Amino acid sequence: MTNLKIGVVGIPGKWSTEVLADEIEAKTGFRMVIDIEKVVADLSTPKVTYQGQCLCELDGIIIKKISQTYSPMVIDRLEILRFVESCGVKVYSKPSEIIRLVDRMSCTISLARAKIPMPKTCITEDHDAAFNTVKEFGEVVLKPLFSTKARGMEVIKADQKESEIRKQLQAFYHTHQFYYIQQKMNLPGHDMGLVFLGGEYQGAYARVANGDSWNTTIHSGGKYAEVKPSQEIIDMAQKAQAQFDLSYTTVDIAETDQGPVCFEVSAFGGFKGAKEGLNLNMAQAYTDYVIQDLQKSDAND
């Protein structure tokens, strides 16, 4: 048992948030789930509080979830935690790194700069260029810049009438104000989540589609299963996550008829896939990792 005070930023009542808080409480005797919507930052004092507790007095904070859905507002919430970090509190993962991932554009650009294989992607605000991209790619997925679990994504096929394609594109643009267009890949009915803790590979699970949806997300009815990726895929995922200084993450990769491709590096990384697919308790492993890192930091001070 240690006397460290470690808070969890997450969604009160949600499984992944509570199971992480449970593990921390079991090892420290301290439990604090922080609903970021109710945090108050007084920069004139300066002080950041949640339910009367000054977050700057904590030893560490683990960011498990910042919102039920992604939006630009998420960045503002992370900026508050970046301020807490400046007070000397260690935050896992670093808010500045998470900011680079919650925006799909930033994540994609970082992966492209590192030459990580991805589906063909076009990013534009030009309506005609978007239409021409659909015709060139054949079948595409329109993706919001801020979303999780395939929410808000739409599929367009190039063999539709031009008027129908343009109508769908314009409706998407009206909502999202940007075109992020990715070629739809032929997947083998599943994709993979490769788990990393402190940059070290832990294992991989598959998300298996239920047959009724074009995507494999659990939100759309997919199921978790164990998978044994090739060394090539593990190396790709290792390189992808290394573009971001993350404490814990999962990397989404799929095998296609054009070879393996990376879809994204997760800003937070889930626990349920590792639990149900691999029988790994990553909430416990993450807690141990954070405690050891904090104790190491104390020893070096």
Spatial contact of 254 and 237, defined as CB atoms under 8 Å apart: no
Spatial contact of 195 and 227, defined as CB atoms under 8 Å apart: no
pLDDT along the chain (301 residues), means of 10: 92 96 98 97 91 96 90 91 95 96 93 97 97 97 87 94 97 94 87 96 90 52 87 98 97 92 94 94 98 89 68
What's the pLDDT tens digit per position in 113-127? Answer: 999 999 999 999 999
The pTM score is 0.90
Our separate counts of H helices and E strands in the chain read 9, 16
Q: Are strands 47-50 and 53-54 parallel, antiparallel or unpaired?
A: antiparallel
Spatial contact of 81 and 56, defined as CB atoms under 8 Å apart: no
Tell me the three state secondary structure of residue 262. Answer: strand
Q: Are strands 190-197 and 248-256 parallel, antiparallel or unpaired?
A: antiparallel
What is d(CA 227, CA 83) in angstroms, rounded to the nearest whole number? 40
Residue ranges and CATH numbers for the domains of the chain are 6-92+283-300 (3.40.50.20), 121-183 (3.30.1490.20), 187-270 (3.30.470.20)
Angle at 32 between CA 4 and CA 197, to 5 degrees: 65
> What phi, psi does 247 have (nearest 5°)?
-75, -40
In terms of Cα–Cα distance, which of 250, 196, 205, 241 is closest to 223? 205
What's the pLDDT tens digit per position in 78-106? Answer: 999 999 999 999 999 999 999 999 989 99
